[in-house]
Amino acid sequence: MPMNSKRSFFGEIFKFVLIAILIVVPFRIFVAQPFVVSGASMDPTFGDGEYLIIDQVSHNFEEPKRGEVIIFRYPRDPKKFFIKRVIGLPGETVSIHSGVVIIKDENHPGGFALSENYIPAANKKIDDFKMNTPLGSDEYFVLGDNRQASLDSRIWGPVPEKLIIGRPLVRVLPVERLGIWPGEKRFAN
């Protein structure tokens, strides 16, 4: 191979790598990133080892809604990332009594029971667990879908909005569960 051909070849590879880095790195940092589910806290919605692509943009333009699954930095150790479902919204009060979630807000001062028919009854059971948590103007109450195996807002309190990274955009693996906006459940209330 002549010397000019080698330089041209390596020059083209360098350009390709540079362009790839200039496109992929900002995309990965600001738009979407991979996330691997760890643990059973979101069973059956998300299983251990499932590979997701996280949308990091939309939460900058719209607030999380009740029923959405979000990925956020763990409030007690922001180096760790958790995946949970939004149950309580800013300004609400979340009460839990023996597995029943009650939401109190301006429109429902007496509260309403949250219908969570997407969760198997066995995953909701929380023996005689009782709590009452008022949320601040930038706080969300999150729970795992598998309540018996989930560390969530019941244990460490609300999640500040600034710790929210995004929400699942695509479930990539396992292939048989491939889908867009996996885990999406929005409630009327």
Planar angle of CA 125, 127, 129, nearest 5 degrees: 105
The CA-atom distances, in angstroms, between 94 and each of 128, 140, 161 are 16, 10, 17
Q: What's 135's DSSP letter?
A: -
3-state secondary structure 24-35: HHHHHHHHEEEE
Catalytic status, residue 41: yes
Q: Catalytic one among 5, 6, 38, 41?
A: 41
pLDDT at 34: 73
12 vs 70: CA distance, rounded Å: 41
Contact 159, 139 (CB under 8 A): yes
For position 160, what pLDDT does the model report?
A: 95
Residue of 62, 101, 108 whose CA lies nearest to 85: 101
How would DSSP label each residue in 52-111? EEEE-SGGGTS---TT-EEEEEETTEEEEEEEEEEEE-TT-EEEEETTEEEEE-SS-TT-
Tell me the three state secondary structure of residue 161: helix
User: What tokens appear for 140 in the block?
Assistant: 């969300």
What pLDDT score does 104 carry?
Answer: 92
- Looking from the CA of 56 toward its CB, the CA atoms found within 13 Å total 16
Q: Is 137 a catalytic residue?
A: no
CA distance 181 to 158: 24
Q: Show pLDDT as tens, one digit a residue, over the chain (189 residues).
A: 555 566 677 777 777 777 766 666 555 555 557 777 888 888 888 888 888 888 877 777 888 999 999 999 999 999 999 999 999 999 999 998 877 888 999 898 888 888 887 777 666 666 566 788 899 999 999 998 888 888 899 889 999 999 999 888 878 878 788 777 787 765 544
What domains, with CATH codes, occur in the chain?
3-172 (2.10.109.10)
Question: Which of 5, 58, 65, 84 is flagged as catalytic?
Answer: 84
Q: What's the pLDDT at 85? A: 93
Alpha carbon distance, N-terminus to C-terminus of the chain: 70
CB atoms within 10 A of CB 101: 21
d(CA 176, CA 181): 15
pTM score, whole prediction: 0.77
